[in-house]
Amino acid sequence: MKNRHQEGEVLSLILNKISALNQLQDVNTILNATLSEARSLTRADAGSIFLVQDGQLEFRHVQNDTLFGKKDAGAALYRNVSIPISEDSIVGFSALTKEIVAIDDVYNISSDVPYKFNESLDRRNNYHTTSILTVPLVSLDNRCLVGVVQLINAQDEQGRVTRFSEQSKIWVRVFSNNAAAIIERSMLNHELILRMVKMAELHDPGETGAHVQRVSAYSVEIYRCWAKKRKIPQDEIIKYCDLLSRAALLHDAGKVGIPDAILKKPGPLTAEEFEEMKLHTVSGAALFVNISSELDQMTHDIVLHHHERWNGRGYPGRLVQEGEQWVRKPLAGKDIPFAARIVALADVFDALSSQRSYKPPWDDEKIYNEIRKDSGEYFDPELVEAFFEITDILHAIQKKFR
């Protein structure tokens, strides 16, 4: 009777976790939350999550309480690792067979199985893996494999490493089947946004899929560092990152309305052409003017204000009536929407560190000097401070989205 009561409690806990996951939209935020929840259900010390991309398993997230404590994995989150879906590795085997693989001690795996444990990661990180539970993320409706979640070192009530219990295997299976459907939906949304970016790319070769993904990832990491320093509650951070990572992808959506003669001009723009170029903020924001969600609101703010400057010398500002005329007055300081201030820094950092038709990529020292010089002028000084705390993560992002 007591067991049945406990089972009911766990089931309602799982339903709550699934419903919280359902509130999120961004694929990375969902993967991070899926991994956290799967770990808490099984009391796993560590874990990682992989997504199926181009027929391989692409590493997407890692968490490890022993190695990172309560902190994020930082630059390790952006490691570029892909594992074949094959019998050779534990995650590959689980993906291939769509079966759970539970191992009590990875250093004593039976010789009957085709896969091996890769000890090099343990050696590199000075970590000791014992028990592993590898769960395929298979969506309930069409049995489609979305990815794999790997949980490492289950712990008992005293924090000692133990094997994964039979009960926890059932719980994590129920949770992961539902999570897979949510991940699948978020991937479709992400692809849709990237397809819009690809359409813009045909018109503006400078605004590539890789550029917008970098700007989005830089923005999220700058915000996360800023928010943690200010002890913003974790729920709020997750929600903000969920919106920011998608909204930032569309920061230059308005460039589709700029004529080719201006956008693709190899030399510098005339004053008149530059005035027309500035309108990409206004015409882009018009796409999000019927605000029906927080995402629309944030995207609108970013698109309209990502060229404003902290000192009030950016564009386009607000329309203000002066006598008979309406004129644009740039915004300054905290009047500039916060998300737009973040993307402004991320976008300029990416422009400086990338090759453009008119310049080679700048080296780190030159970029850092420029950004330091522009703190309090072009950029919000608090965000510049956060930027300099995470330069290792920014480099890892650069490498991941070349």
Per CB under 5 A, does 252 bind Fe ion? yes
Q: Which residues contact 12 (CB under 8 A, 6 or more apart)?
A: none
The DSSP bridge pattern shows strands 101-103 and 82-84 to be: unpaired
Closer CB to Fe ion, 61 or 251, in the complex: 251
Residue whose CB is less far from Fe ion, 72 or 273? 273
- Give the contact letters, 331-350, x = binds to Fe ion (CB under 5 A), - = no: ----------------x---
Cβ proximity to Fe ion, 39 vs 280, nearer residue = 280
Which C-beta is closer to Fe ion: that of 74 or that of 209?
A: 209
**Contact range with Fe ion by CB under 5 A, out of 143-151, 161-169, 177-185, 251-259:** 251-259
Measured CA distances, 151 to 15, 27, 49 (Å): 20, 20, 9
* Residue 292 C-beta: closest distance to Fe ion, Å: 24
First to last CA, the chain: 57
Candidate ranges 20-28, 125-133, 252-260, 297-305; the one touching Fe ion (CB under 5 A): 252-260
Contact segment (CB under 5 A) with Fe ion among 95-103, 192-200, 226-234, 247-255 equals: 247-255
**Least distance in angstroms from the C-beta of 348 to Fe ion:** 9
CB of 252 or CB of 301, closer to Fe ion: 252
Catalytic residue among 70, 228, 231, 255: 255
Other C-beta atoms closer than 10 Å to the C-beta of 205 total 10
Encoding tokens for residue 153? 């070192």
- Those residues whose C-beta lies under 8 Å from the C-beta of residue 111, and which sit 6 or more positions away, are none
The number of angstroms, rounded, from the C-alpha of 184 to the middle of its chain's C-alpha atoms is 15
| Cα–Cα distance for residue pair 49/265, rounded to 1 Å | 44
Nearer to Fe ion, 160 or 402 (CB): 402
**Strand-strand pairing, 325-329 and 318-322:** antiparallel
Min dist. Cβ of residue 277 to Fe ion (A): 9
Burial of residue 365, with CB atoms counted within 10 A of its CB: 0-12 exposed, 13-18 middle, 19 or more buried: exposed
User: At CA 240, angle to CA 234 and CA 242, rounded to 5?
Assistant: 100
**Would you say 17 or 309 has its CB closer to Fe ion?**
309
CB of 300 to Fe ion, least distance (A): 14
Tokens standing for residue 96 = 């291939």
The upper half-sphere exposure of residue 269, i.e. CA atoms within 13 Å in the direction of its Cβ, equals 15
Distance of closest approach, residue 350 Cβ to Fe ion, in angstroms: 7
At its nearest, how many Å lie between Fe ion and the CB of residue 263? 11
Q: How many residues bind Fe ion (CB under 5 A)?
A: 2
335 phi and psi angles, rounded to 5 deg: -70, -25
Nearest to 67 by CA among 57, 75, 59: 75
Q: Does residue 301 belong to the site contacting Fe ion (CB under 5 A)?
A: no
Tokens of 91: 């995650």
Shortest Cβ 395–Fe ion spacing (Å): 19
Determine contact, residues 117/107, Cβ cutoff 8 Å: yes
Q: Phi first, then psi: give them for residue 375, nearest 5 degrees.
A: -65, 125
Catalytic, 239? Answer no
- Residues in contact with Fe ion by the rule CB under 5 A: 252, 347
Catalytic residues, by residue number, are 255
